[in-house]
Structure 1
Amino acid sequence: MDNLMDDFKNAWKRPNNALPQIIIINISVFIVLAVLNFFGKIAGIDSVSNFIIDQFTIPSAFATFLTRPWTLLTYAFAHDLTGILHILFNMLVLYWFGRLIVEYIGNQKLINLYVLGALAGGLIYLMVYNLIPYYIERSNFNGMVGASAAVYAITVAAATLLPNYTFHLMFIGPVKIKYIAGFYIVISFLGAVGSNAGGNIAHLGGALIGFLYIKQLQSGTDWGIWIGSIMRFFKSLFVRQPKIKVTHKKTKSQSSSRSSSSATSSTGHNIADQAEIDAILDKISQSGYESLSKEEKQKLFNASKKS
């Protein structure tokens, strides 16, 4: 429990902290929508609160979906408002398996899996309810919400990456995560013709993309690289890049060069040559200043001070 609380302290201030941030977004959306739903019903203005909730609900009818296509992603950050079990279960599983993804392949891969899982789950859900007669006949419901497809993607990805990693479950004992993921898939498959057929179909879509993502990553292809590029683009619109002036002068003599080298050595830092500086500046242009390592920032700082 202490580790859990530590992960969420100052979650927004720490870089590379995607897992707590995703969970906080889900909880925040749940609270806001629950409050809107409550006061909408009390005040008799259900139409307003329902309109807002609809922006986080992916409809089953494709024609309706076309009027709010953003729900292909936003549905994965909303949950059933009639209780807390839906969001509680999703967030716990996300935390358990998400920590493995972050530890072994990094924060960006966790974000990639979450987004790809949501998209895959939503697309398969739409295809099934608009192409298969059995489901078309049963498509008269408001729509689907929940992070489950994204969570399934992360769960199956972790089990594909580390099949023999063991969780110690209460009342059961040690269980390899490949069996946990397999159990989830079987349950969703059986439920694909039940009362929550849409949700279970989305689960299977998320699970499939989680498996394929890791297999492609192991072969050298990252299907989610475009997600990181989009994130950096939008981040660059709001984060002001530092203006850094870098100048160089030719040394007048070998002795002055030795003197400069000695001075640099005494401070414990190495001033980067022009090729290194150019590479660092290119990295800033592509990924932003915050993408630099501590050593790269120090080299850039030293170069800017050189006169």
Structure 2
Amino acid sequence: MSIWDEIKESFKEGTTLTKLIYVNIGVFVVIKLLQLILLLVGYAPSSIQLLVSWLSVPSDPMSLLFKPWTLFSYMFLHYDFFHVLFNVLYLYWFGRLFTQLIDDRKILTIYIWGGLGGAAIYILSFNLLPAFHSVGGEAILLGASASVMAILFAVARVRPNFTVYLFLVGPVKLKYLALIAFIIDLISIPGMNNAGGHLAHIGGALIGLYYGWKLSEGKITGGFFDKAASRTGDLFKKRSRMRVTHSRPMTDMEYNAHKVKRQKELDKILEKIKNSGYESLSKEEKKTLFNASKDEN
């Protein structure tokens, strides 16, 4: 099997987090290859900036009306090597925590909503705050940072006291890690070198905080992007060759007994949430609660 076939197989069989990482790296590689081709055929190195601008969120609302796709494309777009490197590393670290402590099926939702929240704060800031009036509509936003911040803050809200071990630092609770990241972005805004980017990070963090709060209350059972991710993943799954057998339908007595048993399990889970909070649930209990909420819908 060739390297390309191995990459395709890894993408097909990978989790949603794996696919997000591959897409971010893939877009970066394509941009750089196009830049190389343009340079070799005689175009100026800055020619690629037209494509980057075409995929980035503009600060000017009128420009955004003609490029609405940038609200989504920008969160997968990177131009500098260290920008994509650190964003992919943070996406991997925080994404692993999210998938392990919450749910792999929801990571696409928080990634997209975090990116949209970051873009919203960015556009509003550049058009409403006097400090950015001199920039006008010439600024652009790109990168996965707002989405990554949303993932960090969502998992920190659901499991605030979960401890991670940082190199040269030691054990740190997630709530403090998120708070430090927020403060760094806040105090970096006056530098103005990447003020729009730091504002977008804050927008992503606020979305993540809200999403994590709703998750803790059990009020999020799967949104549009969750379902889209599941359907996309199903397209890449190999179909099983096993023969499907059909069992006989349950009798009324068996059905009622099953329903009573399931209701008792739900009552027990809800009582546990009331006494100890959502984060005290086991993975199986969360799955049971999630399936029950889908049936009600």
Report the TM-score, using the length of structure 1 for normalisation. 0.69
Q: Is it true that 1:138 corresponds to 2:131 in the alignment?
A: no
Distance 1:23 1:174, change over 3 A: same
Structure with greater contact order relative to length (CA < 8 Å, sep ≥ 6): 2
Aligned letter for 1:72? L
Q: 2:198 aligns with which of 200, 204, 207?
A: 200
Q: Which residue of 1 aligns with 2:34?
A: 36
Aligned letter for 1:228? D
1:69 partner SS: coil
Q: Is it true that 1:12 corresponds to 2:11 in the alignment?
A: yes
Q: Which residue of 2 aligns with 1:126?
A: 123
Distance 1:167 1:76, change over 3 A: same
Q: 2:107 aligns with which of 70, 89, 110?
A: 110
Displacement of 1:173: 1.6
Displacement of 1:24: 0.8
- Structure 1 unpaired stretches of 5+: 1-7, 247-269, 277-307
Q: Which residue of 2 aligns with 1:226?
A: 224
Displacement of 1:115: 0.5
**Are the counterparts in 2 of residues 101 and 154 from structure 1 also a CA contact under 8 Å?**
yes
Distance 1:137 1:229, change over 3 A: same
Once residues 20 and 36 of structure 1 are traced to their aligned partners in structure 2, the CA distance between those partners, rounded to angstroms, is 24
Range 126-135 or range 221-230, more displaced: 221-230
Alignment of 1:125-274 (within 5 A): 125-139=122-136, 141-193=138-190, 194-222=192-220, 225-231=223-229, 271-274=246-249
- Structure 2 unpaired stretches of 5+: 1-6, 252-297
Q: How many percent of aligned residue pairs carry the same amino acid?
A: 35
Q: Aligned residues, how many? A: 241
1:174 partner SS: strand
Once residues 233 and 160 of structure 2 are traced to their aligned partners in structure 1, the CA distance between those partners, rounded to angstroms, is 35
2:165 partner SS: strand
Query: Whose helix fraction is larger, Structure 1's or Structure 2's?
Result: 2
Once residues 204 and 65 of structure 1 are traced to their aligned partners in structure 2, the CA distance between those partners, rounded to angstroms, is 21
Once residues 78 and 50 of structure 1 are traced to their aligned partners in structure 2, the CA distance between those partners, rounded to angstroms, is 12
Report the TM-score, using the length of structure 2 for normalisation. 0.72
**Are the counterparts in 2 of residues 116 and 150 from structure 1 also a CA contact under 8 Å?**
yes
**Are the counterparts in 2 of residues 213 and 223 from structure 1 also a CA contact under 8 Å?**
no
